[in-house]
A and B are shown apart, each in its own frame.
Chain A
């Protein structure tokens, strides 16, 4: 069983999946925060490789990406950091980035480097399954999960396509839009998750816009994992002092997910 599959192999447990941009606000922060996230009950960590033109991201992650690029972060740096984190934490590490940095690195070379660094999966928001065949074949050979996304606009045909092809889990984008903390999750989220659940056997993880324990709890009642990004990045804005607030935030989310309310499956 892959490390990602194992993370979902605990009945009744909802996975907590934080996203951090590598090198934001500094490389040291990434090396510090990921072990903290793991110790506060996170089950998988997404490490963002910054890209100059993050068109699926809202202002928070855009700014974190630009800052990381200003800090000189490259895909190479991110792979190195992932390798160092692999020594420190047991939970699965998933790299998230746009397609061009991966394409530019060379698909085969990139995936091999991922495998060497102990990376377990890849999320590439601008690579739909139609364009992902080549990368899929390469990742399979190296036992790395290529995780596809579904959105509220996805048609039944597309849901079937992603259910056939996504490995590790399926990333459900909660709302038509870009990443970013939101006050309200859409009313049709439950119906969307149910549509996917009918055809997909993979775990379903919901991301985009989740920033409070209440929202996490609502998502936990319909999904196997909750992904949190922008709110976490906001807490990391102050370079020196973020470990406390981040720990509190994640602990709060974990507690909300563990409360024995709601049903799963």
Chain B
């Protein structure tokens, strides 16, 4: 997976303007060429270790486990990766690929700012020009990350169209890409978009799952019963799920953003509440109205606030290999505070969705059971939002 035409079952493909089709061909060929390129992977591994800080630990959260009162909870500590989230894995891989393809101008979109920061960091390190598209609404709610990107030399372009969030940032990045197709590399941040992006981003992120597999075997002597990860576009979830796809005994659970509640319509639970459509170049579940217009979404976490989802997740949902649930803003805030108090770890609001669900599940499971949660990022960027939600003035 995917097949030669870029499909995961019926999902995926390349629904883009003609201008980009040759660019995608060029990218597919370049990426295919990497597979046998040992020098590329040696550099990727070296920088993953010395620049990104890999491997990230797998931590048995003993106090959180006691609190939940059931299954043992392990945290895959992507929050400890350089720039504060799993996003660095993909940014590093694609940054090296872009340099290899001779592209000097990098564009990217960002929602919470984590992918933007990771891209800005990699571009600074590799000496590439960097332009980040970010929705005006996200620029306000994630202003610390905007400042970080600028410090690293990136230009942050505000997107004021549509809902002014991640969806619109991707639209604008694609418009830039269409315009500058010949010399620009689009460093897409999630397992979405046209082929080969869903595959390529998954591959670069699958380092999370590969490490987790080795670590849990070493620490617990067996594979986990459950893996839980939050899903916006779905890159951290795909990254940890992928190396376990053939281990049928490991249940894979994706946690979407229920926002103010699935019944309010103000949420971002694409797999739970969407239907099949085409958005940003691939066929997948999409939150849309009855006419096929894309809906505006809501989540307290900018990184999950997106009406699409990676095509491989749609495939995993339909095939039953993974299951998907949704956690509300309020519950995510509860998960956020719980992890702070129980373990002294501040999760990103995105990851807090997964934490909440894992704790809820753990309580009804036996103590021999094991849950691994992908703690995809750290919460420094979310202090303002959390303070406001808790009625605290900073």
- Chain A interface (Cβ within 8 Å of chain B)? 51-56, 58, 62, 66, 69, 74-76, 98-105, 125-128, 130-131, 148-155, 158, 162, 173, 176-178
Number of interface residues of B (CB under 8 A): 37
Which residues of B (179-195) have their CB < 8 Å from a CB of A? Answer: 179-182
Residues A176 and B181 in contact in the complex (CB < 8 Å), given A53-B279, A103-B292, A153-B23: yes
Which residues of B (1-35) have their CB < 8 Å from a CB of A? Answer: 5, 13-23, 25
Interface pair B175/A173, CB less than 8 Å apart: no
Interface pair A62/B161, CB less than 8 Å apart: yes
B69, CB-defined interface residue at 8 Å: no
Closest residue of B by beta carbon distance from A150 = B18
Interface pair A103/B278, CB less than 8 Å apart: yes
B293, CB-defined interface residue at 8 Å: yes
Interface pair A148/B18, CB less than 8 Å apart: yes
Interface CB pairs A-B, < 8 A, 27? A52-B294, A53-B168, A53-B279, A53-B280, A55-B171, A55-B174, A55-B175, A56-B17, A56-B178, A62-B161, A66-B161, A74-B291, A100-B288, A100-B292, A104-B288, A104-B291, A126-B15, A126-B16, A128-B17, A131-B13, A152-B19, A153-B19, A153-B23, A154-B21, A155-B25, A173-B19, A176-B180
Q: Which residues of B contact A56 (CB under 8 A)?
A: 17, 175, 178
Interface pair A151/B293, CB less than 8 Å apart: no
- Chain B interface (Cβ within 8 Å of chain A)? 5, 13-23, 25, 161-162, 167-168, 171, 174-175, 178-182, 277-281, 286, 288, 290-294
Query: Which of B17, B161, B180, B294 has the most A CB atoms < 10 Å from its CB?
Result: B17
Residues A100 and B278 in contact in the complex (CB < 8 Å), given A176-B181, A177-B178: yes
- B50 CB to closest chain A CB (Å) equals 38
Closest residue of A by beta carbon distance from B276 = A103
- Complex CA gap A98/B294 in Å reads 12
Closest residue of B by beta carbon distance from A124 = B15
- B99 CB to closest chain A CB (Å) equals 21
Residues A125 and B17 in contact in the complex (CB < 8 Å), given A153-B182, A158-B22: yes
Interface pair A131/B293, CB less than 8 Å apart: no
Query: Which of B5, B20, B25 has the most A CB atoms < 10 Å from its CB?
Result: B20
Give 6 new A-B contacts, CB below 8 A, not counting A53-B168, A66-B162. A75-B291, A99-B15, A99-B278, A126-B15, A131-B13, A153-B21
Interface pair B292/A176, CB less than 8 Å apart: no
Residues A101 and B175 in contact in the complex (CB < 8 Å), given A148-B18, A176-B19: no
- A72 CB to closest chain B CB (Å) equals 10
- Complex CA gap A54/B17 in Å reads 11
- Complex CA gap A59/B288 in Å reads 22
- Complex CA gap A178/B19 in Å reads 10
**Cβ-neighbour of B17 out of A75, A102, A151, A155 (below 8 A):** A151
